Structure 1
Amino acid sequence: MTSYMLSGFAALTRSNQSFIIPYFSARLSNYSYAQELNKDFKISKFLRFRPEMYRIVDCQVPKYIRSTGDDGILSFQTQHDNIIAGDYEEILRKLGKLDLSNFSPFFRMEAYSLLGDEELLHRSNCEAANLFSKESHTSFWIEASQNLARTSLSKRYNLATQTLEEPEQLDRMINRLLENPSDEDWYHEWKRQWSDSRGSLRLVKLALWWINKSSTSEPYLPYILEDILIRFKDDKESKETALQWLVKGEYHSQQWPKLWELYNLNTEVSEPLFSHGLSFLDHTLKLGNLKDNEYYWTSIWDKLWSEQRHVTYMVGLAQSAIKYLGKSDIFIVNVLSSVLDANRINTLALDTLDSWMKTSRNYSLVWEKVFLYFLNDTTYRKTTTEFAYKILETNPESPIWFFVLKSLWRGRPSHELVKIAKNWTKTQSKNSANWQDVMILILQSGYADDNDRLLAKKVSQYSDHYQQDNQFQKLSDYIKYNLEV
């Protein structure tokens, strides 16, 4: 599973008060990606995204690493350099503390949509409607506002792929290239126009004509096809041309894995490209240059693995690659974790995963899965438990602290574990994520004393004073139904 790091924010408007699109980068990839969120605000997939099509927000970017299945990141801007980012629950809490009456109706539409306040959403819609007639691109505004809360990023991404009206200059350039297919600068002229026009079906047809017309196009063919398939992934003629080039098996070319991935994007891998994908993995592995092909080797392996064909052979490839990629996050997350799921893992792979788990800061769902595996494995349980206690005792602000605590907290927890939890509740801010969850565990443990119960009741009263925030409602309800009966 690929990991993506938050790399910036893109704004749809010039306003410094708006919801903004977080975009991500993947290791060894030149593309940017945006999230597609499901109805639970989890990441269903990452889509290629073009932030240069929007206003790039000048700000300090917080460190977030996400994979498919993780909580999605939502974000908004309240002023020039003030960016609020976090998962759905965090954003709801932040919005609940803002005086939204000071914001534009467009911002309020998005905020109330997230908060689920239909009455205020309707009121903001009416206020915004009075402004729409004075604004250009009205439909763009409406669509962006209505779709922000759910799965809007794919639609916004598609806005970046729409072709623009082609100027007269394009006609002149096309005629010039049609007349001179042997011009040594043909490709570079086409590329400049392609970049300037942000893609055009006319330029697609022109490039394919040149590929068939002139032998001088051969060195540039994979680069042209890459450009085309990024923007027009379903163009039939382009895909047919790409297939003809891919089956030649020029695995040494840096463009081969790029084009293979583009050709098979969001589709099942059929023959002959499945076999060619395996051949690329084997060819690259035998040459020993996996470091130069780390991203595409792991990406192609992951894609082929999803087909669940030739499983034994693919497990062998993965285990052989440990020699070269054993310390690579992207290899472990995409490849070894999948082999672990299939219970096909050998001792070398297990030791590699164990070392990664204890040194990595990539705290994703994959990390959690690997941790739980070793915690339940008889061979690794003792050292994993010692590692877990070290995290709890020395790193109380770690993002995985509560997950590790819950994983160790089975049935009746040890007195030592409860002691660590009690100390955490006394030293960490009551506003910390999971504070009330830890306190509830303590109250349920059988080791809670009067001081613990008094602290819990005192903190739970915050929810009575701050109904809008409702931050400690879970703790308040637990006390009401368990301690006050």
Structure 2
Amino acid sequence: MIVYTLSGVLAPGLGQSTFLIPFFKRSGSNAVFAQELDGNYKIRRFMKINPENFENVSCYVPLIDKIEGHGAVMAFRANDGEPIIGEVQEITNILADYVIDNDRDFFFQIDVFSFLKDKEGVSKSIQLAQKNFTNAKMAKIWASGERAAALAKIDRDNIGEEKVKDLESNFSNGELELIIKQLIESPNATDWYDVWLEAYQKFQFDSGLLEVANWWVRSRSIDDEIVPSIIKDVLLYGEYNDEFINFIMFWLEEVKVHRMWVDVWCMTLDRGMMNGKWRGLLQDVGWRFIRIDPPATDYVSAGQWSKVWKAIRGRNENLEELVHIAANVFAIWHRSEIFLKSVVSALIKKKRIDDSSEGRRLMDIVRDWLLNIQKWGSAWCDIYALYLRQRPDDQEIIHYGRYLLRNRKLKQNSWGKVWKAIGNATGFDDELYEQAMFWLKTSNPNIMGWPDILNIVASIYGVGDDIRKLSIEWLRVSSPNHPKRRLIEALSQRLI
């Protein structure tokens, strides 16, 4: 029996709300392992991973040992907050009261409801995210595929004994064999893809149907509209060989502009093909895509563009060009929270961003945007805090932030980022104290970051009776498993 010890967490992306990847180590090996889970979040096996492909998240790591068959360790980070790590049931309890919010990261909400196996929550989150697309046609295409993938995963996780018996019965009746025979004998049928996809879903992604798809897609013209659809289906659920992967790379290289190009590229990346012999070609076609100026907005959304940019950034030293590209497209996607959080935030948090001419240009563009956008959502607050960290002497930006705090222009769940940024830049004065106390007394204690603001106020101004009462109220309404609970319990029990 091999014991694996939790060693940390990795982030698949930069800066945004996301589920994290717990990683483990074991005695006698220098390798890093991640959990492969079944539909009930039990550990099927531990698999080796390369941690350099992810962002290593600095945080407190509890001492947890696991073996195969145990319940999984889960972790997430919301709104760039402190990562929360725990057993499956602990994370489920924390997220159980999660509600859809227009100001939250859209894609994290989808992941949360998928984790909770809440189909209604998944559908509503996708509807909300769909509104963030600038292109209505692309939004409809994305929403359809995202909904099908998310709900199919929930259904697969929930397959019971009766479903398994039904599938076995279908196999014994020869229905699958007849469908495969029909597909092979009629490769040019107009409904070929529809027949294949219906069977593929009905027979739970059978390997024989995957082989048929592998054969069929390589026989088609590269311009066939069905080709990228079946590539996506195979990548999403199936197995594939080098010949099939080679065809995908050929398609990505040859097709210049296509509404599904980004979907295929991103799914190829997600299935781990950025490593090994395909890495160079996947990088090259990704570079070609993000260098298109202006981007083909009829075919690509801000979120898709940002995902390609982010993957290229994570594996390339040419930061100056990436900054240049981001600055050039800022005017196109400056209203997209995905672009702002994934691309802009990732760049302006870099140390010495102002040292290069392109970095200064991007920072000046961001400054102008902060002062003129008149939309102070979560992404605005994130970028304001990062900008002020780089330029703490920018008095106009500081005065503008104080104006927004004073006139209560910011949403409750984003307010604290601006308040902390100003305090770190100028020092926490009496005005900031009064604003913090008003916010603590009037906002929902369950807002992410509420206990952090309370703790900052207590550490700077001391624990008075008001702080103690607020601490007691927070303890009353918060989850008993909340990671900040011990800290707030300590505040509630002392009076300085």
TM-score range, shorter chain: 0.5 to 0.7
Which has the larger displacement, 426-435 or 372-381? Answer: 426-435
1:266-311 Cα deviation digits (max 9, x unpaired): 44361222112212222x325x533541333222111111102433
1:409 lines up with 2:423 in the alignment: yes
TM-score (normalizing by structure 2): 0.57
1:162-195 Cα deviation digits (max 9, x unpaired): 9955533221111122222333433332233234
Which has the larger displacement, 426-435 or 273-282? Answer: 426-435
State the alpha-carbon separation in 2 of the partners of residues 407 and 354 from structure 1. 15
Which has the larger displacement, 406-415 or 252-261? Answer: 406-415
Which has the larger displacement, 428-437 or 167-176? Answer: 428-437
Q: CA deviation at 1:259?
A: 1.6
Unaligned runs of 5+ in 2: 1-12, 20-38, 41-71, 85-95, 122-150
1:307 lines up with 2:342 in the alignment: no
| Partner residue, 1:199 | 205
State the alpha-carbon separation in 2 of the partners of residues 229 and 76 from structure 1. 21
Q: CA deviation at 1:218?
A: 4.4
The 3-state SS of whatever aligns with 2:179 is helix
Quick one: structure 1 residues 38 and 314, their matched pair in 2 at CA, closer, same or farther if it must change by over 3 Å? farther
State the alpha-carbon separation in 2 of the partners of residues 442 and 462 from structure 1. 16
The 3-state SS of whatever aligns with 1:199 is coil
Q: CA deviation at 1:61?
A: 4.2
Q: CA deviation at 1:206?
A: 0.9
| Partner residue, 1:349 | 362
Q: CA deviation at 1:400?
A: 2.4
| Partner residue, 2:259 | 254
| Partner residue, 1:149 | none
State the alpha-carbon separation in 1 of the partners of residues 485 and 189 from structure 2. 71
Which residues in structure 2 correspond to 1:225-236 (within 5 Å)? Answer: 225-232=231-238, 235-236=241-242
Match for 2:187: what amino acid?
P
Match for 2:104: what amino acid?
I
State the alpha-carbon separation in 1 of the partners of residues 265 and 344 from structure 2. 22
| Partner residue, 1:297 | 305
Quick one: structure 1 residues 178 and 233, their matched pair in 2 at CA, closer, same or farther if it must change by over 3 Å? closer
Quick one: structure 1 residues 216 and 179, their matched pair in 2 at CA, closer, same or farther if it must change by over 3 Å? farther
| Partner residue, 2:398 | 384
State the alpha-carbon separation in 2 of the partners of residues 473 and 158 from structure 1. 39
State the alpha-carbon separation in 1 of the partners of residues 418 and 447 from structure 2. 16
TM-score (normalizing by structure 1): 0.58
| Partner residue, 1:334 | 342
State the Cα RMSD in Å. Answer: 5.1
State the alpha-carbon separation in 2 of the partners of residues 219 and 68 from structure 1. 27
Unaligned runs of 5+ in 1: 7-11, 14-36, 46-56, 83-152
State the alpha-carbon separation in 1 of the partners of residues 189 and 155 from structure 2. 35
State the alpha-carbon separation in 2 of the partners of residues 440 and 300 from structure 1. 38
Match for 1:391: what amino acid?
L
Which has the larger displacement, 222-231 or 326-335? Answer: 326-335
State the alpha-carbon separation in 1 of the partners of residues 252 and 215 from structure 2. 19
| Partner residue, 1:42 | 77
Q: CA deviation at 1:213?
A: 4.9
The 3-state SS of whatever aligns with 1:254 is coil
| Partner residue, 1:21 | none
Larger Rg: 1
Match for 1:329: what amino acid?
E
| Partner residue, 1:49 | none
Quick one: structure 1 residues 361 and 191, their matched pair in 2 at CA, closer, same or farther if it must change by over 3 Å? farther
The 3-state SS of whatever aligns with 2:428 is coil
State the alpha-carbon separation in 2 of the partners of residues 472 and 211 from structure 1. 55
State the alpha-carbon separation in 2 of the partners of residues 190 and 398 from structure 1. 50
CA contact (8 A) 2:401 2:418 kept: no
1:104-149 Cα deviation digits (max 9, x unpaired): xxxxxxxxxxxxxxxxxxxxxxxxxxxxxxxxxxxxxxxxxxxxxx
State the alpha-carbon separation in 2 of the partners of residues 432 and 314 from structure 1. 35
Which residues in structure 2 correspond to 1:20-59 (within 5 Å)? Answer: 41-42=76-77
CA contact (8 A) 1:204 1:228 kept: yes
- Aligned length, in residue pairs: 363
Identity %: 17
CA contact (8 A) 1:181 1:210 kept: yes
| Partner residue, 1:65 | 104
Match for 1:264: what amino acid?
L
